[in-house]
Structure 1
Amino acid sequence: MSGNITNLMSKFGNNSVGVAPTEDVEGMHNADIELENAIQEIVENASNEDNNVNNERHSKDVLALAMRRLSVRNNLNTDERRIENDRKATKESIDEIKVKNNDAYTLKIETNIKCNNINAYPDDLNISDEEQNLAFTYEDTKLYRLIKPLIISLKIGGLFFYPNYKRTQNGKIKKGISKLQMYSIGICFLVILNCLRSASFYTGHNELDHKLFFKSTMSIWWMECSFKAVTFFVACISVDKMRGLFIAIDDVLQEAVIDKYRKKLAKQVKVQTIKIWMLAIINIGGTVYCVFGPHELSDLFNLSLAPLPVDFPYLVPFQILNVFMHCINVMVALFPLGFYTTICFLLYYEFKELHENFAKDISKSGEISKNLEDIRLRHQSLSKCVEKADAIFSYYIAVIYTTNLPLSCVVLYNMIYHQLHISQTLLNCFWCVSVLVQSASVSMMGAIVNAQAHAPLTDIYSIRVLSASNEHQLQISMFLHKLTGSSIGLTALDMFVINRPTILTQTVFSPTPLSMISPKQ
């Protein structure tokens, strides 16, 4: 028994009271068992009178050791409680930090949404489309700031808006109608109603004279305006069209690249804005002159008041209303052309900068100094921007081609085969020039985007591939396949891409329908 107690004393006797032993948990458990065995041995020998003296002495030692052990246990429990409390406090601090970080991430998300850096969000954060719609504003995009005068013009014409998203009391996001959207709906309603009104032109008896051709000209033009208004309304209300174009371009634009052509683009924006407003003012002023001017012209424009008869006694209020409708149609007809031209210029400048940098990076020996993958990926991003632009302008281009061709035929036929007054001839010449300029502008701007998008093809063949690694050769092959594959550019309802051969085809075959028309014998 004394040996057991001696071993226990040697194990615990050197530890000061209140200091936890340094052995591990398993060692402490074994020591507790030895201590219990020693106490049990004292109890069993308590009945032996010969060992009473020694037993009493050892009992005191064991009890003292037990008290010391209990004190150590208490201190250990106290330390464990302190550690547990510290751990809980640390966990609460960590939770607070996480909450703050989440708030910071939320703020970052909202900021990034406004800046359109959608791809910069953390992958583990689920941002709903409704949240993105709520936080998105066109005014925070680079593209909006670059072409702001044109956007304002589009808003005046009822061709640009953004749906109003609001958070309800229950926390859900609801899509509403903004003031600009209501204005755009009103414009669409008026131009469509005006187009449908043209059906009354052909009621009753109509002779094949210059009056019938005037009615046909107005009908085709009104139909063109109504299609343009609907096209831009659908583009603005659809998340993946107008908004998708602004986001895609904003993700690609780099300040270092923009600075190289910022002045040129700003000049183009001013020129396009001034041009469309001057054409609109000239057109509206000419219409006022035609409606209230010489009878040779006023008699023609009174035909557009149908279903009112030309001999209606109170025509002046309706003539004023007709001029007002003409103002709306002029804005709807001209303002999209300025927007289309500016977007094409922007894409042209971006592709041009990429091509020039790509050509500079290729040395005379055929070695490329920069990573070809970065160039290829940037070209791919610009191609995606062209696809986003085509999602809007493919309908616009199709409307231009399908209405301007018959419109030019009608106007030219009227000029050639009818004896018109000089004022009527000048009016038809103005219409013919407007049609040709609009068609030529759409074709030329689409062609320069297509040509510049494929421009790196002239330099990629200069790269040496014999000494290139397999990865480098793969990048060259992928880039070459992109440039020689499907044509990159704007289309007419995906039927054909607007390129230089398209301009040649239009030039050659545009007079064909006119040559097939023979005058009435």
Structure 2
Amino acid sequence: MTKTKISAVDDGVASITQLGKPNPEIGTTCYPTTEEDKRWNCLISALRPLLISMSVVGLFDVWKLRDINDKNPASKRTLFKLYHLGVVCILGFNFIRFFHAYNSFAFGSELLSTVYSHAWFFLCFVYAAMNYRIVQNPTKLSQFFTQWNQYWCLVKKAPKDVSQEDSWKHIRRFTTITTIITWVFVLINVSFICYLIFHGHSEPNLLEPITEEHDLFILVACLGQIVGLCCSCAWCFVTTFLIVIFLSLYYEFKNLVNRFEKMTQTLSTSQIRENIEAIREQHTALCDMLDTGDCVFKHYIGACIFFHIFITLLLLYNLCWHDTVRDDFGQLLTHVFWLIAVIGVASVVMVTCSLVNIKAHEPASFIYKMSMKDITPDFTLQVNVFLHRLNGPPIGLTAWSLFVVDNQVIVSVAGMLATYFVVLLQFQQSATNPATSLNSTLPLNGV
């Protein structure tokens, strides 16, 4: 079989397939150049800053993904496997240990503080466990990256202004920026956890069952900081990974839409007839890649949306009702930071999923604007098949395969949170003005 080298300099595309994988488009096997081999394949290289950071903190193994087609001895991956498994076990033990914090089940701010802390610990454990599963069984994840590279192969002859080389650079630049922001976010969150460990009078004891009076409190507090760092990394880096992947998918659909819009505006009907099939094939390839990505990330999306909304509700309650939180500036700042963080994380994840959904269906608007003069039966069939896909079942990312995350989901969640907040304010007003509420129920003139 002929060996073909495809470089980013010659074709505007880097390493379009995995090492030694047959390329269905050109019927040959693509072998990366020396420079590309050092960078692995283009997509892994674009995501490298984030994936290496996740590997360092025990949430990923980028080298296993890189070498998935190489027959390396399993012993080379044993160290990272044990490291990753150790992080999962630490987070799992931390979640089980925190059951000691439930000293009373009487409804109130203290119970809710314990519940949302426990929910956050569980979310971090779930993130780490799901990452361990997809790293140790990377079939779907590898298929997702392979389909992405194959899509880049389809558009390697795209105009220079929307070339895949620019796409690779865009993803790499965005990944680098978000990785730096994530590290800053982790350090800030660890600082707040440190404050709560030593000054958490309104919070449940984060080191249960060890208290401040224990002789080994300082040692346990240091170990608690390590656990807090693991939790913060699992929470922040996994969420960042989702956001980067989803925004990259949005960018790919956006490039496709731009090419299609430019084609419909500048080419004649006969020229559009010659090119629309290529656009349809590229859109189909993106949709297939999106379906594979949904199989990988749907559990992450569902857990992210559910737990962040749940924690948001409890944080809002404590900010409205927990007097100790409002009296202690440090704890007030911690709760405000957490509230902004959980709302921001859920919002960004839902918005990025919604953007993918919008861009995936957008080509339909340009098809409706095309001239239908001098059309042929073959062209009509192509257009109908394309429209059937665009106007058929929703294209996008789902939460546990229950629903596609689109604009309606965002509006529903925002309405629910707004209603809950208004109800809390009304309850607080009634509680702070009992005399007004009592007088309003007394009969007039003593009758």
Give TM-score, length-normalised by structure 2: 0.79
1:432 aligns to what? 339
Which of 403, 408, 430 is the aligned partner of 2:312? 408
- Correspondences of 1:274-353 after superposition (within 5 Å): 274-292=180-198, 297-300=199-202, 303-353=205-255
Alpha-carbon RMSD across the aligned residues, in angstroms, is 3.3
Higher deviation after alignment, 359-368 or 321-330: 359-368
1:264 aligns to what? 170
* Kept in 1: contact 2:189–2:232 (CA 8 A): yes
1:250 equivalenced with 2:149 (yes/no): yes
Q: Kindly tell me: are residues 291 and 469 of structure 1, through their superposed partners in 2, closer, same or farther at Cα, counting changes over 3 Å?
A: same
Q: Kindly tell me: are residues 184 and 121 of structure 1, through their superposed partners in 2, closer, same or farther at Cα, counting changes over 3 Å?
A: farther
- Correspondences of 1:62-141 after superposition (within 5 Å): 114-115=18-19, 117-120=21-24, 140-141=40-41
Q: CA deviation at 1:328?
A: 0.3
1:495 aligns to what? 402
Q: CA deviation at 1:428?
A: 1.3
Q: Kindly tell me: are residues 493 and 442 of structure 1, through their superposed partners in 2, closer, same or farther at Cα, counting changes over 3 Å?
A: same
Q: Kindly tell me: are residues 475 and 416 of structure 1, through their superposed partners in 2, closer, same or farther at Cα, counting changes over 3 Å?
A: same
2:60 aligns to what? 160
Q: Kindly tell me: are residues 124 and 286 of structure 1, through their superposed partners in 2, closer, same or farther at Cα, counting changes over 3 Å?
A: closer
Q: CA deviation at 1:138?
A: 11
CA distance in 2, matches of 1:483, 1:508: 29
Q: Kindly tell me: are residues 493 and 205 of structure 1, through their superposed partners in 2, closer, same or farther at Cα, counting changes over 3 Å?
A: closer
Q: Deviations over 1:134-163 (max 9, x none)?
A: xxx996221111121011112123222238
Q: Kindly tell me: are residues 349 and 116 of structure 1, through their superposed partners in 2, closer, same or farther at Cα, counting changes over 3 Å?
A: farther
CA distance in 1, matches of 2:38, 2:419: 45
For structure 2, which runs of at least 5 residues remain unmatched after alignment? 7-14, 30-36, 432-447
Counterpart AA for 1:258: Q
1:213 aligns to what? 112
Counterpart AA for 1:331: C
Q: SS state of the match for residue 260, structure 2? A: helix
CA distance in 2, matches of 1:363, 1:122: 30
* Kept in 1: contact 2:113–2:204 (CA 8 A): no
CA distance in 1, matches of 2:335, 2:232: 16
Identity of matched residues, %: 22
1:230 aligns to what? 129
CA distance in 1, matches of 2:328, 2:231: 25
2:381 aligns to what? 474
* Kept in 1: contact 2:16–2:150 (CA 8 A): no
Q: Kindly tell me: are residues 513 and 231 of structure 1, through their superposed partners in 2, closer, same or farther at Cα, counting changes over 3 Å?
A: farther
* Kept in 1: contact 2:304–2:346 (CA 8 A): yes
* Kept in 1: contact 2:88–2:128 (CA 8 A): yes
For these two proteins, the number of residue pairs brought into alignment is 397
Q: SS state of the match for residue 481, structure 1? A: helix
CA distance in 1, matches of 2:248, 2:20: 18
1:184 aligns to what? 84
2:443 aligns to what? none
CA distance in 1, matches of 2:340, 2:47: 27
CA distance in 1, matches of 2:396, 2:20: 24
CA distance in 1, matches of 2:76, 2:183: 31
For structure 1, which runs of at least 5 residues remain unmatched after alignment? 1-100, 126-136
Counterpart AA for 2:141: M
* Kept in 1: contact 2:309–2:343 (CA 8 A): no
Q: CA deviation at 1:376?
A: 0.4
Q: Kindly tell me: are residues 290 and 239 of structure 1, through their superposed partners in 2, closer, same or farther at Cα, counting changes over 3 Å?
A: closer
CA distance in 2, matches of 1:487, 1:335: 29
Give TM-score, length-normalised by structure 1: 0.69
Q: Deviations over 1:260-285 (max 9, x none)?
A: 34443333112211110110111112
* Kept in 2: contact 1:348–1:448 (CA 8 A): yes
Q: CA deviation at 1:209?
A: 4.2
